[in-house]
Structure 1
Amino acid sequence: MSSSTQDLTPQLYLGTTFGALFIGVNIAAVLFGLSNIQAFIYFQTYNGTGLSFYKLVVIWLWILDALHLALIVHCMYYYLVTNFGNINALTEIVWSFKAQIVVDVLIVYAVHLLYLYRIWIISKGRSRAIPMIVGIIEILCSGVAIALILTVFRCSVFKDLVKTQWATYMALGAITFVDVVIASSLCYLLATARTGFSSTDSLITKLMAYIINTGCLTSICSMAAIITCAAMPKNFIFLGVEFLLAKLYVNSCFALLNARHYLQPTTDTSNSYQFNNRHEVYHPELDRASQDERPQASQKDVCKFPDHEMVYPTRSVMSKRPIEVTIQMDSFSSV
């Protein structure tokens, strides 16, 4: 046994090194199953719309997600099965570990670009300053990701990877910062798009809650990786947490694309009910029996739709802005 191997052997405790990576791979596989379910729900919901941009995005993210899982599974198989008991192999960085970082970066920035596209759509008809600022921040942070990839590919053993923790801090910190900027921008644009109509404002509030929850989930994962890397730099717990980051980004993106599946039916039903009631016309030629049945039917409809607060806007209230905001909300939550 060489002297370099003897130096690394006392520090190589499998429980907090490759055991942590093994647990991370198992949790990542569960998250991949959730992303499969969400992708299936999305295609079932919009199965009659033909091939669209968002469907291509879902397919692309699913392929990257499956590739990322295959790479980390190969990484664990290489260390724990192929080279079982081979200490020299455990200290080296296998090619699949380096490749999964590249796929991880592609997934994160693909989701960020999709959110940036959403910001561009929502800001239509208003100032383009916010999407331009977010785009500049995204471009600047991409340089940090390139630096991380180059640093990892220069490392041949895990001991070198521990010495370059600054790249991990910068990359995860930049990702967290972009998450906060994107979530804040989307929430600001949606909050300023309120119209005063209860149905539209309720949909805006629910979408804001979706954005905040998904943004917090990925940011918490990034911060957990940074904290574990700073507190325990000599084990691989932070790498196990990093395995989950790509899966959480894919699931958060799919959840936002499926937001209309969970939110829109109730809103559409309520709106159609209000629309029918506003356009109800009294026909004096109807017989008395039909007139007696109409209040009972209306009472049943009120019981069926709890949100029965009626809004009768005048002509001065129906300005261009509410209509424009409604169109923007449809473009935000539809394919």
Structure 2
Amino acid sequence: MTIATPAEVLMRGPQLGTMLSMILYGITCIQTFMYFQNYPDDRRRVKATVSISAVSITGLYRLTDACQVIVVWILETAHAGAAISFMDYYLIVNFSNTEVLLSVYWAMPVAFMIGFLLAFVVNTFYAWRIWLFSKNVYHAAVLMMLAFVRLGLSLTVCVYSVIYSQSWSNFRHHSGKTIIALFVLAVVDDTLTATVLAYYLHTRRSGLKRTDRLINRLLLYSVGIGALSAAGDVVETIAYFALPNSLDFLGIVLVQMKLYANSFLICLNIRNFQAGPLNDPLSYNSTIVTSSVPKFTPDGSIECGAKDVSSGNNPLSTLIEQ
């Protein structure tokens, strides 16, 4: 029987996670490009949110149009670059150096810090949208509180990895309880966010055929990606306990971090997929309202020839356009 090397035990998970995260990074870049191409009339503050998907919420509305694409490229590439950097350091520069493999390289906590900020911004974005959508302060406040507590635990883990960087075992020993609390809170946060969003989308069905189809798609993606993120949290927890001598759980975290930006961009880009192929008349309770082809206008209303359904009656204008 072949004995596994330290590199296999420690770095196989992060290596596979980095490779898969690069694929998701490419999808994120494509989605960002599609967004700016397809929705040039969207409000500046929504575009700014896209551009700072991994920056603190305090800068949410302060970016100019010229900086948007540059910022998203810098931040997303920084996360990808940090992941590539620590894999290169462990597996290439220090090939077969067991002493180095057992320590924490600075690029690893940097990569995870960026990813945790990304999750924070996306979750607070959803909390803000849910408040606009429902005007339910309690639900939005709970989600916002969970996002802030989760961010605090995440950054605490990153700080532990710097303080106890001499060895992975030392890091796990001192940060174990914080990591477990973080995983449990992540499951609750991701599940609750997807559930509340799905609930309010479902309750705001208007009977408009075209709008309800878009709501159905948003329901599918929000519940699906929310469930996928929550499942990732559960798998991370299992891997952390089942494989105490490996870093496989970090590889799963690397992949999961890329899901947040993609779920956020899907929420915005799905409008174009719905608007394009539909040529059927807009109907209400199976009754034809107008013979002209409906379309979403830049101001958030639905234009239907002689009749116009204002954005106030369109639940998606609240969820996406504001």
TM over 0.5: yes
Give the equivalent residue in structure 2 for 1:277.
Answer: 291
What is the rounded CA distance, in whole Å, between the counterparts of 2:9 and 2:208 in structure 1?
Answer: 54
What is the rounded CA distance, in whole Å, between the counterparts of 2:267 and 2:78 in structure 1?
Answer: 22
Give the equivalent residue in structure 2 for 1:137.
Answer: 146
Give the equivalent residue in structure 2 for 1:328.
Answer: 315
Q: Larger deviation: 157-166 or 22-31? A: 157-166
What is the rounded CA distance, in whole Å, between the counterparts of 2:177 and 2:261 in structure 1?
Answer: 26
Shift of residue 66 of structure 1?
Answer: 1.7
What is the rounded CA distance, in whole Å, between the counterparts of 2:312 and 2:194 in structure 1?
Answer: 19
TM-score normalized with structure 2 length: 0.78
Give the equivalent residue in structure 2 for 1:168.
Answer: 179
Give the equivalent residue in structure 1 for 2:50.
Answer: 58
Letter in 2 for 1:181: L
Task: Assess, with a 3 A threshold, how the Cα gap between structure 1 residues 93 and 58 changes in structure 2: closer, same or farther.
Answer: same
Given candidates 30, 33, 36, the residue that maps to 2:29 is 36
- Find the residue that maps to 2:282 and give its secondary structure: helix
Task: Assess, with a 3 A threshold, how the Cα gap between structure 1 residues 195 and 327 changes in structure 2: closer, same or farther.
Answer: closer
Shift of residue 50 of structure 1?
Answer: 6.6
- Find the residue that maps to 1:16 and give its secondary structure: helix
Task: Assess, with a 3 A threshold, how the Cα gap between structure 1 residues 137 and 241 changes in structure 2: closer, same or farther.
Answer: closer
Which segments of 5 or more consecutive residues in structure 1 lack a partner in the other structure? Answer: 1-9, 279-300, 302-321
Q: Larger deviation: 28-37 or 59-68? A: 59-68
Rg comparison, structure with higher value: 1
Given candidates 17, 41, 55, the residue that maps to 1:24 is 17
Shift of residue 208 of structure 1?
Answer: 1.2
The Cα offsets for residues 87-142 of structure 1, whole Å up to 9 and x where unpaired, read as 2222211111121121121011011111112112211xx44332223223333333
The Cα offsets for residues 290-320 of structure 1, whole Å up to 9 and x where unpaired, read as xxxxxxxxxxx9xxxxxxxxxxxxxxxxxxx
Give the equivalent residue in structure 2 for 1:258.
Answer: 269
8 A contact 2:132–2:319 mirrored in 1: yes
Give the equivalent residue in structure 2 for 1:159.
Answer: 169
The Cα offsets for residues 239-276 of structure 1, whole Å up to 9 and x where unpaired, read as 11111121111111111111112123356853299443
Give the equivalent residue in structure 2 for 1:67.
Answer: 78
Task: Assess, with a 3 A threshold, how the Cα gap between structure 1 residues 133 and 88 changes in structure 2: closer, same or farther.
Answer: closer
8 A contact 2:120–2:148 mirrored in 1: no
Shift of residue 11 of structure 1?
Answer: 8.2
- Find the residue that maps to 1:74 and give its secondary structure: helix
Letter in 1 for 2:290: N
8 A contact 2:117–2:151 mirrored in 1: no
What is the rounded CA distance, in whole Å, between the counterparts of 1:274 and 1:265 in structure 2?
Answer: 20
Letter in 2 for 1:176: V
Letter in 2 for 1:331: T
Which segments of 5 or more consecutive residues in structure 2 lack a partner in the other structure? Answer: 54-71, 294-308
8 A contact 2:187–2:230 mirrored in 1: yes
Matched, 1:150 2:159: yes
Give the equivalent residue in structure 2 for 1:282.
Answer: none
Identity %: 23
8 A contact 1:214–1:252 mirrored in 2: yes
What is the rounded CA distance, in whole Å, between the counterparts of 1:217 and 1:270 in structure 2?
Answer: 35
- Matches of residues 229-240 of structure 1 in structure 2 within 5 Å? 229-240=240-251
Shift of residue 85 of structure 1?
Answer: 2.7
Shift of residue 235 of structure 1?
Answer: 0.8
- Find the residue that maps to 1:234 and give its secondary structure: coil
- Find the residue that maps to 2:7 and give its secondary structure: coil
What is the rounded CA distance, in whole Å, between the counterparts of 1:43 and 1:133 in structure 2?
Answer: 32
- Matches of residues 205-216 of structure 1 in structure 2 within 5 Å? 205-216=216-227
8 A contact 2:112–2:158 mirrored in 1: yes
- Number of residue pairs the alignment of both structures matches: 282
What is the rounded CA distance, in whole Å, between the counterparts of 1:324 and 1:19 in structure 2?
Answer: 50
The Cα offsets for residues 57-85 of structure 1, whole Å up to 9 and x where unpaired, read as 22222343221111111001111121123
Shift of residue 41 of structure 1?
Answer: 1.3
What is the rounded CA distance, in whole Å, between the counterparts of 2:187 and 2:123 in structure 1?
Answer: 11
8 A contact 1:65–1:247 mirrored in 2: no
Letter in 2 for 1:166: K
Matched, 1:220 2:221: no
8 A contact 2:18–2:254 mirrored in 1: yes
What is the rounded CA distance, in whole Å, between the counterparts of 1:206 and 1:66 in structure 2?
Answer: 29
Q: Is the helix fraction higher in 1 or 2?
A: 1
- Find the residue that maps to 1:106 and give its secondary structure: helix
Matched, 1:13 2:6: yes
What is the rounded CA distance, in whole Å, between the counterparts of 1:269 and 1:67 in structure 2?
Answer: 44
CA-atom RMSD, angstroms? Answer: 2.7
Q: Larger deviation: 37-46 or 160-169? A: 160-169
